[in-house]
Amino acid sequence: MRRAFNQVRVLEEYGYGKNGEFLGLDVKAMRTQPQELSVKHLANSKKLFLHLIEKVRSYDREKEKEFLADRDYEGLEMYVLEHLMGI
């Protein structure tokens, strides 16, 4: 989840999509399933991506700067994980 957050953060912070660019999510159905459920993973992937965008937008960059200034990388890691988990 942390790696996905980082990737979405880079895209968002550098304005990806503002000039008409778009993502192709590399997702696949993981098992044989009924046809009516075979594309459910696409909706799930989009939902997760949009959730990560909101997490990126609500991320406290000033708090991040404080952790970095203090060289408290464990504190930063915990902050990011708690932010992602909503705690």
Q: What is the pLDDT of residues 20-58, one digit of tens each?
A: 887 776 666 567 778 888 788 888 888 888 999 999 999
Domain total for the chain? 1
- Give pTM, 2 decimals: 0.80
Contacts 24+ apart (CB under 8 A), 70-74: none
At residue 30, the pLDDT reads 66
What's the chain's average pLDDT? 89
Three-class DSSP category at 24: coil
Comparing CA positions, the residue from 78, 75, 73, 79 lying closest to residue 60 is 79
Write out the residue range of the structural domain in which residue 24 sits.
2-85
Residues 52-81 have a mean pLDDT of: 97
Tally of residues, the chain: 87
